[in-house]
Chains A and B, each alone.
Chain A
Amino acid sequence: MSFIILKRLRNQNSSLIINNPGLKIHLYTSFYSSLSEPRHRNSPTPIYNKSILASGHVFLCNRNNWFSSLLREILNIPCVPVSARLLSSQAAVEKSTSDGLTVEGIIANGWNIYDENESDWKSHASAIAQSIHLIKKRLRWKNLIPKLETLSDQLSKPDLWNDPVHAGKISREHGSLMGKMKEVDAFEQELLEHIEMIKLAREENDAELESESQNALLTMRRNIKEKELEALLAGEHDSCSCFIEVQAGAGGTESMDWASMVMQMYKKWAERRGFGVSVVDEMPGEMAGIKRATIRVDGEYAFGYAKAEVGAHRLVRISPFDSNKRRHTSFASVAVIPILGDGFSRVQINESDLRIERFRAGGAGGQHVNTTESAVRITHIPTGVSASCQNERSQHQNKASAMAVLQSRLDQLEMKRQAEMNSEHTQSLTDINFGSQIRSYVLHPYRMVKDHRTDFEVSHPDSVLEGDLDGFILSFLSASLDKDEDAHL
C-alpha cells in the first residue's frame, strides 16, 4: 500500500518537479504524514512502516538534494534516522520489501549473477546481496549485537571515565562497531528500495524510472564490491605492505624456470593493482630462472591480498629444457611477509647479534676490484634468520634493504610465536607455510589453473601467469572467512 502512495508521489513528482516546487513540498508532506500512522493489518514485519518511511526518505535525498534538505528543514528530521533506531531497538528484525523480499531471500532465490554490463536487475540485486552477506560474515554479524550491547552497558556505567584510557577504548570500539553496522544496514535498506522502485516502475510501465533504478543498482553493485574487498581484508596486518618470496622446488632448471614465472606473475599482479614493486634479492639459476627471489610490494592491503598466495604452486607442462619433450611437474614455494608499519610493536634487534657479510666477494677487494656488485647478507645469530639484498646500487642501500627484510622476518617469527601461544589463532593466515600445495597450473595435456583450497579454476593459464590472480585470491579470502565463521559461531 505504501508503495502505491510512493508511486503516485513519484508520478506527480516527475511531472511537477520543474514547474512547481511549492506543490511538491505539499505532496511530500502529505506523504510523510500518511505514513506516520501505521495502517497495516497483518503486517508480517512490524518494522515495515519505518523501513519504508526511511526508504522513501532516503530515496528523496538521493534524487533531489536541494529539495530533501528543504523537506528536512520543514519536518525537522535528520537524514538517516532510521538505521540508528533500528540498531538500538530492533536490529534483529529483518528488513524486507513490501512483498516480503529480504536480502537473505534474494540469496535464497539463487538468481544468476551475470556480468555488470548485462542490465538485469535480478543479477545486480543478487550480486549486491552476496556482497552484503560476505560483509556481514566478515564482521561476525551475529556476534556483533551482543557485543554492542555489552559495550553500551559499559558505556553507561557512571564510573567509566575514572579510567580514561579504558573508557576511550570502549568508546572508540563502540563507535566503530556502530559505524559498521549502520553502513551494512544502509546497504540493505538501499538495495530493497531500489528493488521496490523497479517493481513499481514495471507495474506502472515507467521505463524512465526503471532504467534509473537499474542504474542505481549497478552503481551500488560497484560500490559495494569495493566495500566487500575491504571487509575481506580486516586482518590485523592486512593493510601492510609486504615481501613476497618465491623459491624453486627440487628439479633443477625446469623448476627454477617455473619459480621465475611465478615471480613474474606476482610482479605483474602487483603492478596491475597499482602497488609499487621492487626486487630485493634474486639468486639466478645456472641455466635459466631463479633459485629464489624476494620482491617488496608496497601499497595498502598488499599483504592482505598476497597472503592468499602462501604455499606450494605446481606446474605441469612439457619442459622446454627436456630434449625428449617429456612432461614435467615442478614446484615453487611462495612465502609472504608483512612489513609492519609504525603503530605495530616490532622486534628489537641487537646490533651485536648481527653478522654482516659481503656476498660473492672474491679476491683482494678494495682498489683491486671495480664492481657494481655490493650485495650483503645479514644473519641474526640467535635465531639463524638471515636476509640478503643485491639489487640496490650501493652496499649501504643493500644493507638497509636486507635489514628491512630481516626485521620483517623476525617480526613474523614473533607473530607466529604469539599466535601459537594463543590457540585461537593457530590456523592464522599469517602462518609461514611453505609446505602445502595450494594450486596447480596445468599447461599440458589440457590447460587449466585450479586452486586446491577453493576449487576455483580457470581454463586460461596464460592470463593467470600474466598476473590475473584476483579471482583466486578473492575466492580464497572468502572461503577462509567461511571457515573462520564456522570456527567462531
Chain B
Amino acid sequence: MISPRGCLFSILQPVLLRSNPGRLVSRSAVLSSNRPRIPLHLRPPNFSATVADLKKWHIWAKNLVSSVGSTFLDLDNGPDSTLLQRELTWLIQDAFENPNKVSFQNSNDDDSVVSLRVCLDDLYKMWKQRIEERRPFQYVVGCEHWRDLVLSVEEGVLIPRPETEMIVDLVNDAVNENEELRDGLWADLGTGSGALAIGIGRILGDPGKVIATDLSPVAVSVASYNVQRYNLQDKIAVKQGSWFEPLKNVEGGLAGLVSNPPYIPSDHIGGLQAEVAKHEPRLALDGGANGMNDLLHLCHGAVFMLKPGGFVALETNGEIQSKFLVDHMDTETKGSFHDVKIISDFAGIQRFVTGYKAR
C-alpha cells in the first residue's frame, strides 16, 4: 500500500490518516522514526512543468484562496484569504527551483519549462489539503521558519509557535548576565521539532551542551534530523523519554531548563482551530483538566535538576497559568527559586515564567 517514493507517500499520508487515524498514526510514527520527511525546499528539483500549466495551477489555487474569504476566521479563528495568499507565495518559493525567475504575469514564455521539487499533480494535492482539509501549511511544505532557523516538521510533531521564539531571547539575556550559564548543561524538555534546543545550542559557549527530550519517537527523529541539519550533533543530545526520565544521571547539574509543555486544558482541545485540533499531536497540546499538569511537574522537577543559580523558563497558556505558577513557586516550592518573573509575549499575553534556582 505504501509507495516507496517519498513524494507520493507524503501526499497520501494525511489523506489516509484521516480515513483511518488509529492505525496510520502508529504506522507513520514507526516510519518517521526511521526516516524523517525531507522538507519540500530541500528536495531535489526532479520534476518540471510548463509555465502555462503552472499558471493554470496558480489561478486555480488563487481562486480557492478567494473562496475562503473569512470563513475559517469566523468559524474557528483560522486563516483568512490574505494569509492563505501569502502561504501560496511561500509554497511557490519552496516548490520551485528558481522561484524568482518565474513570472505568472508575462504572457510570452508559456512554453518555457520550470524545474520543480514536486510533480504538478502534487502541487494540486498540496494546496487542496491546505484549503479543504485545513492541513497546516507547515506540514504541507514540511518546514517551519522559526527565528532564523528553518526546521523540518511533520505530522506527529508540534509546529513551533512564534511566541516560543522569545524563550531563546530570555536565555540569551540570562547567559549574558552570567557567563557560567553559557558554558553549562541545558535541557529542553518536550523538544518537539528541537526548536528551543537548537536556538539555545547556537548561543551557548564552546563547553555548553543541551539535552533535548521528548516522549514521542516521531519528535525524537525529527529533532535529531534538525539538529544534524544545523550540524549541532556534538552539542545537542536528543533522548526519548518522559520529561526528566532521560536526565536521571545529571540531577542537580543543569545550568538551565526550558520547556514549552502541553498547557491547553483538555476540554478546550475540541474547540481549537482545525489546523491544530485535527492535525497537530494531542500529546503536545493537552495539559490536563486545567492545563497545568505538566507545568507543575516541570516546576517541581526543576528544583532537583537545576544547580544553584540555574535558570528556568517555561511557556504557559497566559495570565491565569503564569500567575498560578508563580504563586505555586512562592508557596509550594518556597525558597527554591528567586527572581521569579512573568514575561509577556509581543501580543501582550503573560506568556512566560522565568526564575533562578536559589543558591
Q: Do A368 and B264 touch (CB < 8 A)?
A: yes
Given A372-B87, A374-B162, A394-B162, verify A366-B351 contact (CB < 8 Å): yes
Query: Would you give the shortest CB distance from A363 to chain B, in whole angstroms?
Result: 5
Q: Does A422 contact B (CB under 8 A)?
A: no
- Among candidates B82, B280, B284, residue contacting A284 with C-beta atoms closer than 8 Å: B82
Given A362-B77, A367-B264, A372-B83, verify A357-B165 contact (CB < 8 Å): no
Interface size on B, residues (CB 8 A): 44
Q: Does B276 contact A (CB under 8 A)?
A: yes
Q: Does A190 contact B (CB under 8 A)?
A: no
Give every chain A residue within 8 A of B163 (Cβ-Cβ). 365-366, 395
Chain A residue at minimum C-beta to C-beta distance from B79: A371
What class of interface size applies to chain A in its complex with B?
20 to 34
Q: Does B244 contact A (CB under 8 A)?
A: no
Q: Does A393 contact B (CB under 8 A)?
A: yes
A147–B299 alpha-carbon span in the complex (Å): 74
B interface secondary structure, majority: loop
- Among candidates B77, B145, B273, residue contacting A397 with C-beta atoms closer than 8 Å: B145
Give every chain A residue within 8 A of B158 (Cβ-Cβ). 367
Q: Do A396 and B263 touch (CB < 8 A)?
A: no
- Among candidates B87, B145, B285, B351, residue contacting A392 with C-beta atoms closer than 8 Å: B145
Q: Does B272 contact A (CB under 8 A)?
A: yes
Give every chain B residue within 8 A of A397 (Cβ-Cβ). 145, 147-148
Q: Do B347 and A361 touch (CB < 8 A)?
A: yes
Q: Which of B125-159 contact A (CB under 8 A)?
A: 136-138, 145-149, 158-159
Q: How many A-B Cβ pairs are below 8 Å?
A: 101
Q: Does B224 contact A (CB under 8 A)?
A: no
Q: Does A391 contact B (CB under 8 A)?
A: yes
Q: Does A373 contact B (CB under 8 A)?
A: yes
Q: Does A489 contact B (CB under 8 A)?
A: no
Give every chain B residue within 8 A of A376 (Cβ-Cβ). 346
Give every chain B residue within 8 A of A284 (Cβ-Cβ). 82
Give every chain B residue within 8 A of A361 (Cβ-Cβ). 346-348
A402–B145 alpha-carbon span in the complex (Å): 17
Q: Does B318 contact A (CB under 8 A)?
A: yes
Q: Do A370 and B263 touch (CB < 8 A)?
A: no
- Among candidates A358, A368, A392, A393, residue contacting B272 with C-beta atoms closer than 8 Å: A368
Query: Would you give the shortest CB distance from A376 to chain B, in whole angstroms?
Result: 6
Q: Do A394 and B347 touch (CB < 8 A)?
A: no
Q: Do B280 and A365 touch (CB < 8 A)?
A: no
A374–B164 alpha-carbon span in the complex (Å): 12
- Among candidates A362, A368, A392, residue contacting B276 with C-beta atoms closer than 8 Å: A368
Q: Does A369 contact B (CB under 8 A)?
A: yes
Q: Do A369 and B346 touch (CB < 8 A)?
A: no
Give every chain B residue within 8 A of A365 (Cβ-Cβ). 161, 163, 318, 345, 347, 349, 351
A367–B317 alpha-carbon span in the complex (Å): 8
How does the 8 Å CB contact mask read for A378-411 relative to B, with 1 for contact and 0 for none? 0000000000000111111100000000000000
A362–B145 alpha-carbon span in the complex (Å): 21
Give every chain A residue within 8 A of B82 (Cβ-Cβ). 284
Chain A residue at minimum C-beta to C-beta distance from B268: A368
Q: Do B162 and A391 touch (CB < 8 A)?
A: no
Q: Do B317 and A366 touch (CB < 8 A)?
A: yes
Q: Do B148 and A370 touch (CB < 8 A)?
A: no
A361–B285 alpha-carbon span in the complex (Å): 20
Given A364-B317, A392-B145, verify A369-B77 contact (CB < 8 Å): yes
A392–B349 alpha-carbon span in the complex (Å): 22
Q: Do A396 and B147 touch (CB < 8 A)?
A: yes
Q: Which of B232-285 contact A (CB under 8 A)?
A: 260, 262-264, 268, 272-273, 275-276, 280, 284-285
A364–B77 alpha-carbon span in the complex (Å): 10
Give every chain B residue within 8 A of A371 (Cβ-Cβ). 79, 83
Chain A residue at minimum C-beta to C-beta distance from B145: A393
Which residue, of A368, A374, A391, has the highest number of chain B Cβ atoms within 10 A? A368
A361–B162 alpha-carbon span in the complex (Å): 11
Q: Does B90 contact A (CB under 8 A)?
A: yes
Chain A residue at minimum C-beta to C-beta distance from B158: A367
- Among candidates A356, A368, A372, A394, residue contacting B147 with C-beta atoms closer than 8 Å: A394
Given A393-B90, A396-B146, verify A366-B138 contact (CB < 8 Å): no
A369–B276 alpha-carbon span in the complex (Å): 7
8 A–B pairs (Cβ distance < 8 Å), ordered by A: A361-B347, A363-B77, A365-B163, A367-B158, A367-B262, A369-B161, A372-B137, A395-B147
Which residues of A are in contact with B by a Cβ distance under 8 Å? 284, 356-358, 361-374, 376, 391-397
Which residues of B are in contact with A by a Cβ distance under 8 Å? 77, 79, 82-83, 86-87, 90, 136-138, 145-149, 158-159, 161-165, 260, 262-264, 268, 272-273, 275-276, 280, 284-285, 315-318, 345-349, 351
